[in-house]
Amino acid sequence: MDATPLASRRAAVDVLMACLDKGQPLDDALGQHRGFAALDPRDRAFVRLLLASTLRHLGEIEGVLSGLITKPLEGANAVGRQVLRLGAAQLMFLGTPPHAAVDTSVRLVEDAGLHHLKGLVNAVLRRISRDGDALLVDRDPARLNTPRWLWESWIHAYGEDTTRAIAAAHLNEAPLDLTVRRDADHWAVQLEAEKLPTGTLRRKGGGHIAELPGFAEGTWWVQDAAAALPVRLLGDITDKRVADLCAAPGGKTMQLCAAGAQVTAVDISARRMARLGDNLARAGLSANLVTADASKWTPGEKFDAILLDAPCSGTGTLRRHPDIAWLKDEEDVARLTVTQDRLLVHALGLLKPGGTLVYAVCSLQEDEGFERINGVLVRNPQVKRIRVTPAELPGLEDAITPRGDVRTLPFMWADRGGIDGFYMARLTTN
């Protein structure tokens, strides 16, 4: 058997174990795996697709496997569970030829020294290759692939119909969204992309990002359409002093600079700030970069505008990061809300009277969104909400809440490929 398909699947097993057994974020696990880095670009793309598909459909996969395995694969046999998950994902959702999925899976457990699992892996995956469609009949993908804590929190916040629509949208891979510095119509042609009503370019075709026209010159950068909205809500910021708090990796910082603002970008991670600096340099943009805890940082002068993209659970980005659903829980959200409160209160103290602050989180959890803003407004009557108008969100008018905040949901723009789930609120002080 050719070593290449085995090497790519071996990397996938290692990364899946790091993610699901050790709680490591998928992107971090991929970045730290030497075998993955050594693969050629096509095989790296396959590994990413395989892992994302496995995590996106993990509930369905577990439902099928639990009906075919009598004893749990735990302890030293845990690698066998991950091999079966990956094999099942290939057979049920990626259309991998059965002989390739089954044979490589058997080789993987053999290479792991689990010779006693060869027969089980072979039998289970051959059964799935033969009866996979029947095994999935009458199952509820939206519900099965959403952990209970998420499902119940969304039911409480949005109701069952909207929750089902959110969960169904998470089963689809997100397209590639790009923010351009200028001349979006020209670059839409060059990049074979659709120009969305809000100005973001959406590319559905494949290809390596670094090889696309305009990348080396910093003409555009990758940024989901929803993530590009908070900067728009600041209005005209030409020559204004703007702070971008929790700024890395820097998509919003680059937007602010391109809009003509005098930008100070603050983030606690030196590594992420170095990456932000590289991105700015590639685009020929400049900002004052500060590595500090944004909840404690105190500059000498207050700002005309502040963008606070607060640390959050990231549950609005499950189309891109399906691992989040299985790595986060209610306790994580509770801890994050404490951080969000601290950051928001401190950020408001850095704002000039009458200035504008936009608070944003890429989360679907109301505790991280409306509840945070509502709490601040109740505690501090000097803080006021600035309502967002339909004219500011062309094509996304339905995302404006009755209170004038913004709540994008993953099924919005479904005919265009969806959008990340974000909450945004625009505030000012007396």
Q: Are 347 and 310 in contact (CB under 8 A)?
A: no
The answer to whether 246 is annotated as binding is: yes
Q: Is 131 annotated as a binding residue?
A: no
Distance CA 131, CA 181 (A): 51
**Alpha-carbon 180 to chain mean position:** 20
Q: Collect all residues with Cβ–Cβ distance below 8 Å to 37 and sequence separation of at least 6.
A: none
Q: How many CB atoms lie within 10 A of CB 168?
A: 17
CA distance 34 to 281: 28
d(CA 145, CA 298): 43
Q: Token pair of 117, please?
A: 């699992």
Instruction: Determine if residue 252 is labeled as part of a ligand binding site.
Output: yes
Q: With beta carbons less than 8 A apart as the criterion, state whether 169 and 414 touch.
A: yes
Burial grade of 22 (CB within 10 A; 0-12, 13-18, 19 or more)? exposed
Q: What is the DSSP string of 215-241?
A: TTTTSEEE--TTTTHHHHTT---TT-E
- Confirm or deny that 11 is annotated as ligand binding: no
Report residue 115 as tokens: 């010779």
Task: Give Rg (Cα) of the chain.
Answer: 23
The phi, psi pair for 426, rounded to 5°, reads: -110, 125
78 is in an annotated binding site: no
Phi and psi angles of residue 149, each rounded to the nearest 5 degrees, phi first: -60, -35
Tell me the C-alpha distance between 426 and 234, whole Å. Answer: 8
Judge whether 270 is annotated as a binding position: no
SS3 307: strand
* Residue of 19, 257, 312, 362 with catalytic role: 362
Locate tokens 């790296």: which residue?
A: 44
Residue 267 annotated as part of some ligand binding site: yes
Known binder of ligand: residue 309?
yes
Is residue 249 annotated as involved in ligand binding?
Answer: yes
CB-CB neighbours of 405 under 10 Å: 23
DSSP H or E stretch at residue 89: helix 78-89
Provide CB contacts within 8 A for 75, sequence distance 6+.
none
Is 362 labeled as catalytic in the residue annotation?
yes
95: annotated binding-site residue?
no
Residue (of 223, 285, 286, 218) closest to 252 by Cα position:
223
| CB atoms closer than 10 angstroms to residue 71 | 7
Query: Per-residue DSSP letters for 119-135?
Result: HHHHHHHHHHHHHHHHH
Q: Which residues sit in the known binding site for S-adenosyl-L-methionine?
A: 246-252, 267, 293, 309
* Binding-site residues: 246-252, 267, 293, 309
Please list the active-site residues.
362
